[in-house]
Amino acid sequence: MPLSLDALALFTTLFQLLYGIGALGLALYGGQALWLTWQFWRRTDQQSVNTLDLAGVERWPYVTIQLPVYNEQHVIERLIDACTQIQYPAHRLQIQVLDDSTDQTTTIARQRSLYWRQRGLDVQVLHRTARTGYKAGALGDALPQASGDFIAIFDADFVPPVDFLRRTIPPFLDPNHRDVGFVQARWGHINADYSPLTRCQALALDGHFVVEQPARQAAGYPFGFNGSAGVWRRACIEDRLVGGWQDDTLCEDLDLSYRAQLAGWQPLYLPDLEVPAEVPPQLLAFKRQQFRWAKGSVQTLKKLIGTVWQSGWSWPARLSATFHLGNYLIHPLLLLLLLVMLPLLLFSVHSFWPLTYLSLVSLGPPLLYAVAQRRLYGRGWLRRWSYLPMLTLLGMGLCLSNSVAVWQALRRQETPFLRTPKFQIKNTGDRWQRSAYALTLEPMMVGELLLCLYACTAIAVAIYQQNWWAIPFMSIYAAGFALMVGAGIWQAFAARRAGNGQMGREGQAEAQGEQIPGLTAVDLVKSQRH
């Protein structure tokens, strides 16, 4: 039965409204990127951070380095060794390996810790048999056993520089900055040049760490602790008004840092202190990471947004915090635009087409990334910035997975903390495909394939109707989802072909909460050689 004219008009108006909401929402986020870039240029500089002259300090503060790990046999030895090389008085330094592992990681960590204890360093392995509370639970359970007044945290994929504590502890010791609750360093990238995927991730992370974090700090607005490569004042974590580590979000770091700032503690970001880390070389691992960050940040938004707007912060600071915590809402907006575009084409609606380009060609994100690369690499910035088109396709392709993450967060649907596998990948010739940590294909890929076909259908309709303005927009969607599906299948096939029969077992077992035996020592040597 054909629709009546009134019903057709109602549906047309509804889809126009949804389209307008999506396009204007994306434009707001593009405007935020422009604002952050402007703040960066207007207020920030690159002053070096003074190092701490330990010889002139009468009483060195106790520092505990906490290393929360879960099934990290490829990188755990590198992590422990790097932390033992940090320049700090050994009698005032404690290293805690917070190990929730169910594989060979525990054995490697214990052997390496024993090696360093025999050389006079306080390195302990705190192994939990139950992964209660995930990373937040591990950090909270270990805090009573920590001897430090300051707590440095590194995830398994990081390699801290030897002067890390000499450059992060001084701000806490300044009598004029007794309210500094945490210090965050800038993330670098061990394997940025490994592949086009890692180059895109480095480009995105540089935008956040080189421009966004300094801009928020310069403007006096709240910003987040990034979970690794930072130091907390223990008194801040244990402050009754702060509430310590809590496991009701997947971004326990963002949650704690905002609760600390709402309680009156101040953050400090050090943009010229770089701590390199490994970015995921496998697309499925990158998607898993983004899913967790998207869900966790929206969980934090839902948890704290009321407190933010009832706080004594200025309204610009509250608005900035809202955009920051809700940054991943951009993905449901992208998905919304895709879904309403085909009905609008079928209804021959063209009146909102300028909003498409308002969102699409916003200068905010491209300019932000360009400024970040220029600041980091000088004349070589353009080559690195040239991966922006591929990064754009990745962002489009992620909109389904991250929209599901946002939906789960809004519905308070609990899911396991699925950590991002690390492979100790640095050079182009290094191989991750033989690792038991390589992830297998996921059901989400079916949805991405369907959305690719949906976008292609919209392109075909636009061509038939000669609505040329819609074709570039839909082509980006189609290419983004095609990239997700094609690269995911290709990498999974390559891993299966190179695998030793254990490929993907870790990822499957982790999602189901099972234990796995891990690789033998012989298997581990083989995987690292290949």
213 with 351, same domain? no
Catalytic residue of the set 99, 157, 206, 253: 253
pLDDT band of 419, cuts 50, 70, 90:
confident
Catalytic residue of the set 100, 103, 206, 523: 100
Residue 299 lies in a domain: no
Q: Which helix (H) or strand (E) holds 233?
A: strand 230-233
Give the CATH number, domain containing residue 209.
3.90.550.10
21 with 70, same domain? no
238 with 351, same domain? no
Using the 8-state DSSP alphabet, how is residue 88 labeled? S
Domain boundary among 279, 314, 340: 279
23 with 140, same domain? no
Buried/exposed 358-395: b ≥16 CB within 10 Å, e otherwise:
bbbebebbbbbbbbbbbbbeeeebeebbebbebbbbbb
- The region of weakest confidence among 273-287, 303-317, 409-423, 451-465 is 409-423
389 with 485, same domain? yes
Residue 468 lies in a domain: yes
pLDDT tens-digit readout, 46-82: 444 454 555 555 678 999 999 999 999 999 999 999 9
172 with 74, same domain? yes
- Position 500 scores a pLDDT of 45
**Cα 231 to Cα 181: distance, rounded to the nearest angstrom:** 9
100 with 201, same domain? yes
Tokens of 406: 């946002």
- Position 466 scores a pLDDT of 87
**Which residue, 268, 266, 211, is CA-closest to 44?**
211
3-state secondary structure of 230: strand
Using the 8-state DSSP alphabet, how is residue 158 labeled? B
Residue 268 lies in a domain: yes
Q: Stretch 287-305: mean pLDDT, rounded? A: 97
Q: Is the pLDDT of residue 37 over 90?
A: yes
State the chain's mean pLDDT as an integer. 88
pLDDT tens-digit readout, 213-258: 999 999 999 999 999 999 999 999 999 999 999 999 999 999 999 9
- Position 44 scores a pLDDT of 62
Residue 87 lies in a domain: yes
Residue 319 lies in a domain: no
Kindly report the CA angle at 373 between 370 and 375, in degrees rounded to 5? Answer: 105
422 with 367, same domain? yes
Q: Is the pLDDT of residue 288 over 50?
A: yes
Query: The sheet that has 266-277: what strands, in order across it?
Result: 122-127, 93-99, 63-69, 150-153, 230-233, 180-189, 266-277
Q: Is the pLDDT of residue 527 over 50?
A: no
Number of domains composing the chain? 2
- Position 350 scores a pLDDT of 64
19 with 116, same domain? no
**Cα 303 to Cα 490: distance, rounded to the nearest angstrom:** 39
171 with 259, same domain? yes
Q: Is the pLDDT of residue 357 over 80?
A: no
pLDDT band of 353, cuts 50, 70, 90:
low
**Cα 230 to Cα 85: distance, rounded to the nearest angstrom:** 17
453 with 516, same domain? yes
Where in the sequence is the domain holding 26, given as residue range(s)?
Answer: 5-40+328-529
Instruction: Give the position of tokens 């309204």.
Output: 315
Residues making up the chain, counted from first to last: 530
Q: Is the pLDDT of residue 210 over 70?
A: yes
96 with 196, same domain? yes
pLDDT band of 519, cuts 50, 70, 90:
very low
Residue 54 lies in a domain: no
- Position 428 scores a pLDDT of 80
**Cα 392 to Cα 259: distance, rounded to the nearest angstrom:** 33
Max mean pLDDT among 352-356, 465-469, 477-481 falls in 477-481
Residue 370 lies in a domain: yes
pTM exceeding 0.85: yes
Domain boundary among 279, 304, 319: 279
Instruction: Give the position of tokens 């330990």.
Output: 54
100 is catalytic: yes
Residue 287 lies in a domain: no
